[in-house]
Amino acid sequence: MSSIRDINITLDLPSWGTRQPSARLRAIASPRQTDTDLALLHTALWTRPPRVTGFSLADCWAWMRYQRAFAAGDELKLRQEWDDIDPHQKTVLSDEVGVGYTTQLLAEELGIGIFVDTLYLVRMLPGYFELARSRKRGPSKSPDFIGLDHTLTFHVLECKGTQTSLDELRNAVGRGVEQKQSLTALPGAQIGESLVVGLYIPRWDSADPATIMISDPTWEEILTFLKAVSQEQLLIATIAIGMAKHFALMGLHTYANFLSSPQIFARGAKLPPLSNAEQRIVFKQEDRYASYDVALDLPPLPVIKDEAQDKRAFAHRVIFSIRYDFEELDKLPLAPDLTQWLLTQAYNLQNIFWTSDRVASGVLLKTPLGFQLSLSYLD
């Protein structure tokens, strides 16, 4: 069974006031088809904290279970059995999958190659940002992500998700507009888009379509967002956090934690050596790639009418895999200047886009940083 689903993309035009959304935003405001497996890979990558603490839900691969939450058919909906799930788990799905689908859209349509957590970027560059309000929840939380696109332009992004209704999506996006304003305008780098993007996934019996809504406050409410940091420093920090997220998924916790800390800017900084356990886990060389696989056995799912042909929902095992060029990985700790290596990776992002391919058992996604992520479903 295909993982392709229909979804509407809409713009909250009143939020732009007297201005107009950019031409590329207007171009994507229409019904489209989206791949749920690719959205799950984006969920895995961008909800993965760049630092490894050992107690994050991302360490438990909880996102893998969401594939079974989607109903069969052409429309993106939640299956009937999801009605009986605990409300807290429904909220977690809305938040995490909301990030996955919205970042997937912005990656594919706006060419954003990296999404980095705003709070981590602030910690990487102490003194360069001014967050007026930095509570982790509520109207005063900081925006979720800073995105870097293929032209090396930065974007400010807030992601939302709900299963309640389209009206609640509008309310959530409206709250996000206020949240985004918490990043104070300071002289510096140029911003491309400044967006609040929300996802509504309807219940199985809802007449409303799945919808991604895009909103924006006036530009006066969020100008530029840097105080004294140079373009190079911002690029270095963004690439470092993006690489950290990839390495965290790959099991390279030593690299992930170092790259997501201000230590990268220390004179003569080098990546610390991997532990013996990390080397044993990760350095399985397949062709020219080092690979890391995680397999989960799935419990039997009762046969549900009209879904007997849903082979993906009834798979017995799901395998997540991430691969990276072995030569690049092998020479990374030997780089004479870590910040220069990161800056080179940033410049290499120019005009590099996400690519994906459907294979017999699942989907393959190549990120602009050169990592390959895949999901495979086995009978």
pLDDT at 225: 44
pLDDT at 200: 92
pLDDT at 241: 97
Q: Is pLDDT larger for residue 127 or for residue 143? A: 143
Token pair in block for residue 276: 């013996």
pLDDT single digits (tens) 314-324: 678 888 899 99
pLDDT exceeds 90 at position 236: yes
pLDDT at 226: 45
pLDDT single digits (tens) 351-362: 999 999 988 788
pLDDT single digits (tens) 325-343: 998 998 898 888 999 999 9
pLDDT single digits (tens) 153-211: 888 888 888 888 778 777 777 776 666 656 554 555 667 788 889 999 998 888 899 99
Token pair in block for residue 334: 């030997």
pLDDT at 218: 47
What does the alpha-carbon distance between residue 113 and residue 235 come to, in Å, rounded to a whole number? Answer: 12
Torsion of CA 236, 334, 353, 214, to 10 degrees: -40
Sequence-ordered list of residues with C-beta below 8 angstroms from that of 44, at least 6 positions apart, any chain: 58, 61, 63, 64, 100, 249, 320, 373
2-6, 176-180, 362-366: least confident range = 176-180
Give the residue ranges of DSSP H helices in 31-165. 36-46, 87-110, 118-124
What does the alpha-carbon distance between residue 196 and residue 176 come to, in Å, rounded to a whole number? Answer: 6
Which residues share a beta bridge with 198?
Answer: 160, 213
